Structure 1
């Protein structure tokens, strides 16, 4: 554990690591206080595309934690960064919330439901058959299909909820098109996160609750990996995966207290 604590920087997931829904998880405050006291570099890296960095910051404030807006990098921001390099000043039809819509606007994109360059799907609870039908039509007419993240589910207070990977599946199946996902474990979002921190891979640990996004992202980016059992992945799930995390902890507080 001492070698883990000696890392220069930490990349941390949010859902299932810091909170479930509107409930702060045990040890989160202690960990973040330790980060501040020790002067470690830190970045919240979340596959959730619903909220803007400002909204994420405000949520943490309501839960009793205060951090800067610059401490957040989301799959929505990574998607907007990616599309801005692929098709500058392009347009998109979006199925998603403020996080992805605002990120695209800030990247110079316009919203277009007639002939967009891309159909972009992110996490949302406002999901309708009409949206699916329209997205299918646009993709069949040549718009390219993008998903902010590939997660099938995400943790909430009373269990799990469908996430982008599940929401985009009907469009993929109906059109025969395979979506391109920008969020974890795509190396694109990991490289962007490393650039923001300004550190080398060997100096970074990634902490997450999912083997299929957080841990594989860390493995493929050659980071030290920490799986916490406070979210999606349970100990019983580990035999399903050919790779292993460097550390397995009950919760994020164990980084400081164990």
Structure 2
């Protein structure tokens, strides 16, 4: 644990690590205060795409935690960066929340259902059959299928909820086309986070609750890895994966020195 604490940069997940829904997890406030008072460079790297960095700042503020907007990077922002790099000024049919549409609009992506270059899928509570039909038709007619993240589920106050991977699956099945996911564990998102922090991978750590996104992303990009058991992964689940995090902790509070 001392080796982890000595790192200069921390990339942290949010759902299942800092909070469940609108409930702050035990030790999260103390962990964030430790990051700030210890002079650590830190970034909350979340696969959730429905909120903007400002939304996340305000959400934590309601929980009594003050984190500057610049400390958040979402899969929606990663998607916007990816599309603007691949095809500047492209058009996209978007299934997603305000965080995704705002990021795409800021990047100059035209949101439309008329001959789009891409079909973009993210989390949204308004997902319905009409979205599946429209997206499937557009992909069948040549639009490229991309999605913010491959997470099948996400932790919530009273259990789990379907996430982007579950929402894009019907479109993949209907069209026979596989989506390209820009969020974790895609190295594009983690490397962008490291550049934002200005820290080399050897001096950074990733803290998350998912083996298939956070931990594998850390391993593949050379970060120290800490799995917390406060989200979707239990200690028994570790046997299902051929790789392991270097550290396993009950929650982020365990990282804070006594």
TM-score where L is the length of structure 1: 0.99
**Pair 1:198-2:212 in alignment:** no
Structure 1 residue ranges without an equivalent (≥5): none
Deviation by residue 1:14-40 (Cα, 9 ceiling, x = unmatched) = 000000000000001111111111110
Cα deviation for residue 114 of structure 1 reads 1.4
2:174 — aligned with what? Answer: 174
Structure 2 residue ranges without an equivalent (≥5): none
The 5-angstrom pairing of residues 1-258 of structure 1 reads: 1-257=1-257
Cα deviation for residue 131 of structure 1 reads 0.7
Aligned pair count reads 258
Deviation by residue 1:132-167 (Cα, 9 ceiling, x = unmatched) = 000001001110000100000000000000000000
User: 3-state DSSP class of the match of 1:31?
Assistant: helix
TM-score where L is the length of structure 2: 0.99
Distance 2:114 2:137 in 1: 10
Distance 2:153 2:101 in 1: 21
User: 3-state DSSP class of the match of 1:76?
Assistant: helix
User: 3-state DSSP class of the match of 1:190?
Assistant: helix
User: 3-state DSSP class of the match of 1:205?
Assistant: strand
Cα deviation for residue 124 of structure 1 reads 1.1
Cα deviation for residue 257 of structure 1 reads 3.9
CA root-mean-square deviation: 0.7
Deviation by residue 1:191-231 (Cα, 9 ceiling, x = unmatched) = 11111011101100000000010000000001000000000
User: 3-state DSSP class of the match of 1:44?
Assistant: strand
User: 3-state DSSP class of the match of 2:29?
Assistant: helix
Cα deviation for residue 188 of structure 1 reads 0.6
Distance 1:114 1:108 in 2: 16
Cα deviation for residue 4 of structure 1 reads 1.1
Distance 2:43 2:198 in 1: 11
Stretches (4+) displaced over 2 A: none
